[in-house]
Structure 1
Amino acid sequence: MKYYIIAGEASGDLHGANLMKALQDQDAHANFRFWGGDLMQAVGGTLVKHYKERQFMGFAEVILNLRKLLGLIKFCKKDIAIFQPDVIIFIDNSGFNLRIAKWAKEENYNTQYYISPQVWASRASRVEKIKRDVDAMYVILPFEKSFYDGYDYPVHFVGHPLIDAIADRTQISEHEFCAKHDLSNKPIIALLPGSRKQEITKMLGVMLSVVEDFKDYQFVIAGAPSQERSFYNTFIKQANVSFVENQTYDLLSVSTAALVTSGTATLETALFKVPQVVCYKANAISYQIAKRIITLKYISLVNLIMDKEVVTELIQHELNTKRLKHELSKILDDQERIKFFLNYYELEKKLGGKGASKKTAELIFESCKSNRF
């Protein structure tokens, strides 16, 4: 069968690649055409556009690049029409994907959505559009099913794909990791500043401002696969810290603590049982808009899933050197760390067991077969 998959940014590339592998197990003749990244490309099929071509952070950046985005949407519709897939699979990335889904449903394509847009965070009115345009939704957060139930839209809770991604990785010891990257034997504090240039620039400078206050530790920046090494060089020289490229999971597996930009990385850090401080700072205009439409108590997935403050969130003006130094000192305390570990184990239980990609692939494949016959 022919599968057209649309994913955005690094996390979508990861989950898209794992879903493609699971679909290949179901369908020996799977033919993939996709928007994604290097991981999806490694599985096979045809990469149409790399996610690096449409990485815009916040409302202001989207508006500034609106002409480019509209051009990409037009191109995507044309490309789908030429390919004539049996199913279109959308992965997160709501701003782009919901626009394509509306058109696709009008054109009578089979539309399947893996990893729900965060309609529970803002603009819940979008649920009506999803009900109209999406044939099936596969959610990965436990509270999302009850949210959609409230709108009379049945969805499938398949568990979180990060459970699989982390469990299936090749293990590396701390000694091996440090030797490989020429690190010292000091405990490691990981810096995860995000994947987009705008957010890395805003976040990493503040993160590095506390390095001199923790001389008994070594700080290591996790380079995002979406950015070149050269982009980080100024930051590395500025604070004399270490850098690893596209090896975030290995880094987290040997880290004592982490400073993490809000997003999927907060959940990844928690699943590696690493105490963390969550950081977020946006363009001033984007932040003011977001404040008015987002209705959540928390911004990190860890706190949202647990429905309590497990990790400290330093947002906008609260993300400063003084606060960050204080919060990092706290999570290095042994008693505080025990609390983290207990909460993290409870979090993992809530996310369900392994097999999210497999479950989703089975359901999508069955949907395709039903549509064919």
Structure 2
Amino acid sequence: MKYYIIAGEASGDLHGSNLMKALQNEDRNADFRFWGGDLMQSVGGTLVKHYKERQFMGFAEVILNLRKILGLIKFCKSDIDQYKPDVIIFIDNSGFNLRIAKWAKELDYKTHYYISPQVWASRAGRVEKIKRDIDAMYVILPFEKEFYDTYGYEVNFVGHPLIDAISDREQVDEMMFRKDNNLSEKPIIALLPGSRKQEITKMLGVMLSLVDDFTDYQFVIAGAPSQDFSFYKTFIKQDNVAFISNKTYDLLSVSTAALVTSGTATLETALFKVPQVVCYKANAISYQIAKRIITLKYISLVNLIMDREVVTELIQGDLNKKRLKKELITILDENERIKFFIDYYDLEKKLGGKGASENAARLIFQNIQDQKETK
């Protein structure tokens, strides 16, 4: 069968690549055409557009790049029409994907969604559009199924793909990792400032402001695959700072603590059992708009899944050197760290076991097969 997959950022590329591998196991004749990244491209098929070409964060950034976004939407529709897939699979990235889904459904394409848009966080009215335009939804957070149930929309909880991505990776030899990356023997504090330039610009300077106050630790920046070192270099003013690109999981596996930009990385850090402080600062206009439409008590996935404050969230004005230093001191305290480990294990139980990609692939393939047989 022919699969057209649309993913929009580094995490979507990771989950998309694992879904593609699982689909290949279900369907020996699987043919892929996709919007994604290097990981999806390594599986096979045709990469149409790399996610690096359309990374826009926040309302203001979207408005400023609206002409480019509309051009990409138009191109995507044309490309789908030429390819004529058996199914279109959307991965997160709601702003772009829901526009394509509306058009695709009107033309009777089969529309499946893997990793739900965060409609539970804001603009819940989008659920009606999802019910109208999406044939099948596969969710990865346990509370999402309950959320959709309240709207009379039946979805499939398949488990979280990060469980697979983390448990299936090769174990890291810490001594070799330190040697290969020119790291000292000091305990490591990982800095995860996000993957988009806007995020990194807002977050990294504040994170690095702590370096001279924690000289007994080695600070290491986790570089995103979408950004070059030359961009990060402009923020680094101290000697006790290292940079490692595209090895975030390896870095987390040997880290003592982490300062993490809100997003998927907060959950990844928790699954590696690393105590963390969650950081978030946006464009002032985007933040004011978000404040008015987001209805959640928390912004980090860790706290949302646990439905209580497990990790401290420093948002906008609270993300400053004084507060960040105080919270970092706290998570380095041994008694506090024990609480983190207990909470993190409970979190992992809530996410279910392994096999999210396989579960989703099996359901997608079977669904399309059944529809073909009933025609």
The match for 1:280 is 280
1:189 lines up with 2:189 in the alignment: yes
| Shift, 1:350, TM fit | 0.1
Query: Secondary structure of 2:235's partner?
Result: helix
* 2:155 aligned residue: 155
* Aligned mates of 1:239, 1:193 — CA distance in 2: 19
Q: Distance in 1 between matches of 2:200 and 2:83?
A: 36
Contact 2:160-2:356 within 8 A present in 1 as well: yes
Residue matched to 2:70 = 70
- Specify the alignment match of 1:267 in structure 2: 267
The amino acid of 1:153's aligned partner reads Y
What's 1:301 paired with?
A: 301
Q: Deviations over 1:298-346 (max 9, x none)?
A: 0000000000000000000000000000000000000000000000000
Query: Contact 1:101 / 1:134 at 8 angstroms: preserved in 2?
Result: yes
Counterpart-to-counterpart distance in 1, 2:107 and 2:316: 43
Q: Deviations over 1:22-80 (max 9, x none)?
A: 00000111000000000000000000000000000100000000000000000000000
1:222 deviation in Å? 0.1
Contiguous gaps of at least 5 residues in structure 1: none
1:141 aligns with 2:118: no
Distance apart, 1:231 and its partner CA: 1.1
For the residue of structure 1 that corresponds to 2:236, the secondary structure is helix
Task: Give the structure 2 partner of residue 362 of structure 1.
Answer: 362
Confirm or deny that 1:90 pairs with 2:90: yes
Query: Match for residue 7 of structure 2?
Result: 7
**1:49 alignment counterpart:** 49
Give yes or no for contact 2:305–2:347 (8 Å, CA) kept in 1. yes
Q: TM-score, normalised by structure 1?
A: 0.99
Structure 1 counterpart SS, 2:255: coil
Letter in 2 for 1:246: N
Deviations 1:3-30 (A, max 9, x none): 0000011000000000000000001110
**Corresponding residue SS for 2:194:** coil
1:257 aligned residue: 257
Residue 37 (structure 2) pairs with residue 31 (structure 1): no
Specify the code of the residue in structure 2 equivalent to 1:228.
D
Q: How far apart are residue 234 of structure 1 and its match?
A: 1.7
Q: Following the alignment from structure 1 to structure 2, what is the Cα–Cα distance between the partners of residues 14 and 236?
A: 28
Task: Write the distance in 2 (CA, Å) between the matches of 1:200 and 1:371.
Answer: 45
Give the ranges of 4+ consecutive aligned residues of structure 1 lying more than 4 Å apart after TM superposition: 237-240
Which residue of structure 2 aligns with residue 216 of structure 1? Answer: 216
Q: Is the 8 A contact 2:211 2:238 kept in 1?
A: no
TM-superposed CA distance for 1:237, in Å, is: 4.2
Separation of aligned partners in 1, 2:238 and 2:184: 19
Consecutive unaligned residues in structure 2, runs of 5 or more = none
Conservation of the 8 A alpha-carbon contact between 2:9 and 2:51: yes
Deviation at 1:371, TM superposition (A): 2.4
Task: Tell me which amino acid in the other structure corresponds to 2:355.
Answer: G
Counterpart-to-counterpart distance in 1, 2:232 and 2:20: 31
What percentage of residue pairs aligned between the two structures are identical?
81
Supply the AA of the counterpart residue of 2:287: Y
CA contact (8 A) 2:218 2:240 kept: no
Q: Which amino acid aligns with 2:78?
A: K
How far has the Cα of 1:230 moved from its partner? 1.5
Q: Which residue of 2 aligns with 1:109?
A: 109
Amino acid at match of 1:199: E
SS for the counterpart of 1:236 is coil
Equivalent-residue separation in structure 1 for 2:61 and 2:184 (angstroms): 40
Query: Which moves more between the two structures, 170-179 or 307-316?
Result: 170-179
- Deviation digits for residues 125-173 of structure 1, max 9, x if unmatched? 0000000000000000000000000000000000000000000101112
CA shift at 1:235, angstroms?
A: 2.1
Find the aligned partners of 2:89 and 2:140 in 1 and give their Cα distance: 15
Q: CA RMSD in A?
A: 0.7
Alpha-carbon distance in 2 for matches of 1:127, 1:246: 35
Q: 2:339 maps to which residue?
A: 339
Q: Is the 8 A contact 2:9 2:36 kept in 1?
A: yes
Contact 1:211 1:239 survives alignment (8 Å): no
Cα gap change, 1:8 to 1:239, in 2 (>3 Å): farther
1:10 and 1:106 map into 2 onto residues whose CA distance is 29
Q: Secondary structure at the match of 2:117?
A: coil
Deviation at 1:239, TM superposition (A): 5.5
**Cα deviation per residue 1:74-132 (whole Å; 9 max; x = unaligned)?**
00000000000000000000000000000000000010000000000000000000000
Cα distance in 1 for partners of 2:39, 2:195 equals: 15
